DNA sequence: AGCACGCCGACT
DNA sequence: GTCGGCGTGCTC
């Protein structure tokens, strides 16, 4: 009779802990296994062998086989998954298995061999992903440029001890943070260790990938970005697992990359919101990167020109070390001049405040480039009746339809930015029959049209979610800026992020203060960071840059600090405010979010959940309230704010409370918990 | 999450 | 008479 070792295995199941199986030997932690599951099979990961059975032994089945063709996952990854599951109140299996590329968890693609092991039968012919390297870095190894004094000091601190230390690389835009990463990476590789480099989920990561590949032509790099196909992702992941790759570059989920012997973790643009996972376990990739560095006992570098206030508070508290880069690496480049501009009193045909339009014309004449930033895609955010108070509203959402130019270019259509519903533009007002329906407000399409009309000789491009939908289209727009075949780039949020345009000397920002009306306590932080980032696009080479910001509130403290480009002053002041008001990061927040067909259902569920328990000292449950967009796709959306004095108290409270919430009859109410929510 | 089982409306 | 709607419950 074969030995029966009871083995705890994680499987992809929401909320679940682990399941017990028999194995004939003691399998290593992290070993992938094929399991009998109901009628079929599925893939799991061994969390522990030799455990106490958690169910009667007759219910325990033997594993189908161990997938010994691949090494076990590193223990640090298992522990990271365990931490994530505990902190964010989800199951380990869900967290861990979600971190494995989907093709490698398809049970049907595994076959049992004669010797009892299991082999993967697919993925033989998938070719290795080759990055789309742009012209500047095409396959020639690039020499490491000399670092300036500040960069050198930063590098020395990062490489001073191989043990866990969290560094914040706080460098103004253009100060050469990437160069510090690359030198630190070289140092780490030379010590025989591997490097994990996390980047935000934006089109521009190709650029950093290309730099890494050019700098380390002989070092195997695995890329785990969202642009890859499932197959490519699977190969990259296997490269990390099998020790083929020494550097992993990837977006947030790469924090779980099965890379061994990690000696350095870098989180580039650590303030970026795309590090927060927005479904399933809602973890924050930057926070998990710090935890992973802790588990690997290696340094972690959080780089940003505008560190998140959470990170800044950690600096102030002495938990993270601060490394400053105050000078632009290109010594000829100076910080741009910032000027506030009043909105045009009467809307001009060119769509810009007069001062901004003149500045754009001047750049055209000087053959320099302009970037006009407007955080609203589409033609206009609202379509309204001129005669009555009718507004085109989405029938599925609590939101206005946005007016978009149709593909045909001649016509328009209504699109809901929340549920993606498309509608034809009505010919007359459905309410009063009036034929004058007017677009209200401006979007990037309208601005593009207006500028094209006013400046017929200018080469104008638009970069927003609509023009970058297809793979590679974002890169093309950026290349056109680089090569100088675009004079004016009109774009949303996505144009704000870390790209060097040598000939860009003017940045115009429209509608900058719109977000200040948001009730979210992070609105000011986000606006300030965004404006600092946008401003950083101007004048990165030898020509001085100018930034014109349209605002109705020129006296707002934020703009005074922006003109000084004094991030620290704003961070310090706003953090003090948060401390005084008892807001994160000085207290811990979590949200219980619920959605259902009707408001009553969603609200009642939250009220029931709230009434389940008397929160302990230091913990507080607020009243259920509608979410920022109270209805999307015909689902009413509500939320309940939970506050605790510390993260530990939050964790302890949620743990016991959610057991009871789970026992509630939710019926048709869908709900989840978001610990450390980024948006309230 | 899948995938089963289980009871009530519009089709051949 | 059945095909199928998705409510609820289980998976070691």
**pLDDT tens digits, one per residue of A160-208:** 999 999 999 999 877 889 999 999 999 999 999 999 999 998 766 677 8
Whole-number distance in Å between A308 CA and B11 C1' = 60
Nucleic acid strand C within 7 Å of A38 CB: yes
Cα(A575)–Cα(A312) distance, rounded to whole angstroms? 9
Are A513 and A374 spatial neighbours (Cβ–Cβ below 8 Å)? no
Beta carbons within 10 angstroms of residue A75's beta carbon:
13
Whole-number distance in Å between A13 CA and C9 C1' = 14
- Among A114-128, A225-239, A397-411, which is the least confidently predicted range? A114-128
Spell out the residues 6+ positions from residue A562 whose beta carbon is closer than 8 angstroms to its own. A338, A528, A531, A532, A535, A549, A570
- For residues A425, A431, A437 and A440, what is the CA-based torsion angle, rounded to 10 degrees? -100
DSSP string, A590-626: EEEEEEESSHHHHHHHHHHHHHT--PPTTEEE---EE
Confidence at residue A535, expressed as pLDDT on a 0 to 100 scale: 82
Give SS3 for A352: coil
- For residues A456, A459, A462 and A463, what is the CA-based torsion angle, rounded to 10 degrees? -170
Nucleotide nearest to A37 (CA to C1'): C11
Whole-number distance in Å between A40 CA and B3 C1' = 10
Tens digits of residue pLDDT in A218-233: 999 999 987 788 999 9
pTM: 0.94
Side-chain-facing half-sphere of A165: CA atoms under 13 Å: 15
Nucleic acid strand B within 7 Å of A57 CB: no
Confidence at residue A662, expressed as pLDDT on a 0 to 100 scale: 87
Q: In what order do the strands lie in the sheet with A422-424?
A: A402-405, A412-415, A422-424
Q: List the single protein residue with the shortest CA to C1' distance from C7.
A: A667
Region of A261 on the Ramachandran plot (φ > 0 left; ψ -120 to 50 alpha; else beta): left
Beta carbons within 10 angstroms of residue A458's beta carbon:
16
- For residues A325, A329, A334 and A336, what is the CA-based torsion angle, rounded to 10 degrees? -70
In this prediction, residue A408 has a pLDDT band, given cuts at 50, 70 and 90, of low
Nucleic acid strand B within 7 Å of A52 CB: no
Whole-number distance in Å between A645 CA and C8 C1' = 38
Tens digits of residue pLDDT in A75-102: 999 999 999 999 999 999 999 999 999 9
Cα(A460)–Cα(A449) distance, rounded to whole angstroms? 9
Nucleic acid strand C within 7 Å of A667 CB: yes
Nucleic acid strand C within 7 Å of A13 CB: yes
CA A68 to chain centre: 34
Nucleic acid strand B within 7 Å of A38 CB: yes
In this prediction, residue A132 has a pLDDT band, given cuts at 50, 70 and 90, of very low
Eight-state DSSP code of residue A547: E
Whole-number distance in Å between A668 CA and C4 C1' = 20
Closest CA to A372 of A483, A456, A463: A463
Closest CA to A166 of A299, A324, A323: A299
Are A287 and A84 spatial neighbours (Cβ–Cβ below 8 Å)? no
Burial annotation A141-177 (CB, 10 A radius, 16+ → b, else e): eeeeeebbebbeebbebbbeeeeebbbbbbbbbbbbb
Side-chain-facing half-sphere of A458: CA atoms under 13 Å: 29
* Chain A span 156-215 residues with beta carbon within 7 Å of strand C: none
3-state SS record for A48-108: EECCCCCCCHHHCEECCEECCCCCCCCHHHHHHHHHHHHHCCCCHHHHHHHCCCHHHHCHH
What does R_g of chain A's alpha carbons equal in angstroms? 27
Whole-number distance in Å between A596 CA and C1 C1' = 37
Nucleic acid strand C within 7 Å of A56 CB: no
Confidence at residue A1, expressed as pLDDT on a 0 to 100 scale: 53
Are A496 and A549 spatial neighbours (Cβ–Cβ below 8 Å)? no
Are A567 and A575 spatial neighbours (Cβ–Cβ below 8 Å)? no
Question: Across the strands, what pairs with A412?
Answer: A405
Both structure tokens of A192: 């025989």
Nucleic acid strand C within 7 Å of A55 CB: yes
Tens digits of residue pLDDT in A514-562: 888 888 999 999 999 999 888 888 766 677 889 999 999 898 888 888 8
Both structure tokens of A22: 């028999």
Nucleotide nearest to A39 (CA to C1'): B3
3-state helix vs strand vs coil in chain A, percent to 5 = 30, 25, 45
Nucleotide nearest to A53 (CA to C1'): C12
Whole-number distance in Å between A99 CA and C11 C1' = 21
Whole-number distance in Å between A37 CA and C11 C1' = 7
Whole-number distance in Å between A394 CA and C4 C1' = 31
Nucleotide nearest to A8 (CA to C1'): C12
Whole-number distance in Å between A662 CA and C8 C1' = 14
Tens digits of residue pLDDT in A585-621: 999 999 999 988 889 889 999 999 999 999 999 999 9
Whole-number distance in Å between A39 CA and C2 C1' = 27
């Amino acid at each position: 009779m074969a030995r029966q070792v009871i083995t705890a295995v994680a499987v992809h199941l929401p909320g679940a802990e682990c399941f017990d199986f028999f194995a004939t030997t003691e399998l290593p932690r992290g070993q992938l296994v094929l399991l009998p599951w109901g009628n079929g099979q599925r893939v799991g990961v061994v969390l522990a062998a030799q455990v106490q059975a958690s169910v009667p032994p007759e219910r325990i089945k033997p594993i189908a086989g161990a997938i010994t063709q691949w090494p076990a996952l590193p223990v640090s990854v298992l522990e990271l998954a365990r931490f994530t599951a505990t902190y964010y109140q989800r199951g380990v299996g869900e967290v861990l298995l979600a971190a494995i590329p989907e093709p490698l968890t398809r049970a049907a693609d595994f076959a049992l061999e004669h010797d009892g092991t299991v082999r993967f039968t697919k993925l033989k012919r998938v070719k290795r992903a080759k990055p789309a390297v742009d012209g500047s870095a095409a396959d020639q190894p690039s020499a490491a440029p000399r670092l300036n004094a500040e960069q050198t000091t930063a590098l020395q601190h990062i490489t001073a001890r191989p043990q866990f230390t969290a560094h914040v690389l706080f460098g103004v835009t253009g100060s050469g943070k990437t160069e510090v990463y690359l030198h630190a990476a070289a140092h780490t590789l030379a010590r025989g260790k591997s490097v994990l480099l996390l980047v935000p989920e934006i089109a521009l990561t190709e650029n950093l990938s290309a730099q890494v590949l050019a700098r380390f032509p002989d070092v195997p790099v695995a890329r785990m970005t969202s642009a890859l196909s499932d197959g490519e992702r699977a190969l990259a992941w296997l490269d990390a697992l099998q020790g083929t790759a020494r550097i992993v570059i990837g977006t947030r989920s790469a924090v779980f990359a099965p890379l061994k012997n990690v000696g350095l973790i870098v989180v580039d643009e650590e303030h970026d919101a795309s590090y927060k996972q927005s479904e399933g376990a809602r973890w924050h990739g930057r926070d998990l990167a710090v935890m992973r560095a802790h588990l690997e006992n290696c340094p972690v570098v959080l780089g940003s020109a505008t560190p998140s206030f959470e990170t800044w508070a950690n600096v102030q508290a002495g938990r993270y070390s601060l490394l400053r880069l105050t000078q632009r690496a290109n010594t000829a480049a100076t910080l741009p001049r910032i000027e506030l501009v009043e909105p045009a009193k009467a809307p001009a045909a060119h769509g810009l405040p007069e001062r901004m339009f003149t500045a754009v014309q001047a750049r055209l004449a000087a053959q320099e480039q302009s970037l006009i930033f407007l955080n609203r895609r589409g033609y206009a955010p609202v379509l309204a009746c001129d005669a009555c108070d009718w507004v085109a509203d989405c029938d599925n959402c609590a939101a206005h339809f946005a007016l978009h130019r149709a593909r045909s270019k001649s016509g328009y259509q209504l699109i809901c930015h929340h549920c993606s519903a498309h509608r034809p533009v009505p010919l007359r007002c459905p309410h009063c029959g009036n034929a004058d329906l007017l677009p209200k407000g401006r979007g990037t399409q309208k601005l593009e049209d207006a500028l094209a009309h006013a400046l017929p000789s200018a080469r104008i491009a638009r970069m927003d979610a609509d023009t970058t939908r297809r793979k590679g289209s974002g890169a093309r727009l950026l290349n056109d800026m680089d090569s100088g075949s675009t004079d004016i780039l009109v774009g949303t949020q996505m144009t704000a992020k870390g790209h060097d345009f040598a000939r860009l000397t003017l940045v115009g920002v429209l509608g900058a203060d719109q977000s200040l009306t948001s009730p979210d306590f992070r609105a000011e932080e986000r606006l300030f960071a965004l404006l600092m980032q946008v401003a950083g696009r101007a004048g990165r080479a030898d020509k001085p840059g100018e930034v014109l910001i349209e605002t109705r509130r020129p006296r707002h403290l934020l703009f005074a600090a922006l003109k000084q480009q004094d991030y620290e002053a704003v961070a310090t002041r706003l953090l003090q405010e948060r401390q005084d008001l008892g807001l994160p990061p000085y207290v811990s927040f979590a949200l219980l979010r619920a959605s259902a067909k009707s408001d009553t259902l969603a609200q009642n569920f939250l009220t029931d959940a709230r009434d389940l328990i008397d929160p302990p000292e230091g913990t507080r449950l607020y009243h259920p309230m509608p979410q920022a967009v109270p209805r999307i796709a015909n689902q009413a959306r509500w939320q309940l704010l939970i506050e605790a004095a510390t993260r530990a108290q939050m964790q302890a409270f949620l743990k016991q409370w959610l057991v009871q919430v789970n026992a509630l009859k939710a019926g048709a109410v869908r709900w989840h918990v978001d610990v450390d929510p980024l948006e309230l």
